[in-house]
Every structure is written in structure tokens, then in C-alpha cells.
Amino acid sequence: MAIPNWKLHNLIETSGGVVVCEETCTGTRYFENQVDESGKTVDEMIQNIANRYMGINCACFTPNAARADDVVRLAKEFKADGVIDISLMFCQTYDIEGRSLEERCKAEGIPFLGIETDYTDNDAQQLKTRIGAFIELLG
């Protein structure tokens, strides 16, 4: 979610859940997989910067099984009780990957909830109901 849009975080945490990790565009991608600083020439340094950014498991690089690997790894690493996959209405690449991510999480025994939303608050109460039911199932 784009900063400062915390609609889903607020809905999750006011429904009894806790956001323990965020894998979206503003989440762990900012600080994971640091740039290799061993380059001696400008060309090597530029290549290392490119390698870091091309190694981000964004849905824009679909098909991308490595993103599902990351979600599963993060869920286990942060001891998450479940995964809530958020797809913004205008971000078709995440929407396309949603189904395969759901299948992967279920294969790993990780409860999964897929949500499609936008930046408005028009659907907040409906989402709160769905998120609350999901959290209740986890308990």
C-alpha cells in the first residue's frame, strides 16, 4: 500500500489481528537484498545496483514463483498465523498472481485470505467483516 494509506493495517489490527510483516511494494522490499558493494569499477557498481533491483520479487515480473517463495518464507520466519493478500484494483499483476499465491500458501498449510480493494474507505466495513471472520478462524 502506498504511504500513508494504512486502511488494511488498521482494519486488521482493529479486528484483533497483528500485522507482523508486509511484503507489498512498501514492505520488506525496501531493505531486503542489499546492493553488493564489492564493485571496483563504475560498470560493476551499476551492474550490482541493477542486480539488486532486478532481484526484487515484484508481481510486475510475472510469472514469478520466487515471490510465493518469499511470502511463504516470511510467513514462517515471522510466525504469521495466516497470509492476507491485498490486491489493489488497478494492479492487475498482483491480481493475476493471487490465485497461485493462494494455492502455494494452502499447500504449505498457511491460511490465506485474498482481498481486492482500492484506496477509498468505501469498502472498509465489508473488509472488516471478512478480516474479522478470517482472524476468528485462525484463533
In the predicted structure, residue 91 carries a pLDDT above the cut 80: no
Q: What is the DSSP letter of 120?
A: S
Cα-atom radius of gyration of the chain, to the nearest Å? 17
Q: What is the DSSP letter of 66?
A: H
In a domain, 77, yes or no: yes
pTM for this model (two decimals): 0.82
In a domain, 1, yes or no: no
- Residue 89: give the domain boundaries: 8-138
pLDDT in tens, 13-60: 999 999 999 887 767 776 777 899 999 999 999 999 999 888 777 777
In a domain, 90, yes or no: yes
In a domain, 24, yes or no: yes
- Give me the CATH number covering residue 22: 3.40.50.11900
In a domain, 99, yes or no: yes
Q: How many structural domains are present in the chain?
A: 1
In the predicted structure, residue 1 carries a pLDDT above the cut 80: no
pLDDT in tens, 98-131: 889 999 999 999 999 999 998 888 999 999 999 9
In a domain, 3, yes or no: no
Confidence of residue 62 (pLDDT cuts 50, 70, 90): low
Q: Which of 107, 84, 102, 104 lies closest to 17 in space, CA to CA?
A: 84
Left (φ > 0), alpha (ψ -120 to 50) or beta: where does 46 sit?
A: alpha
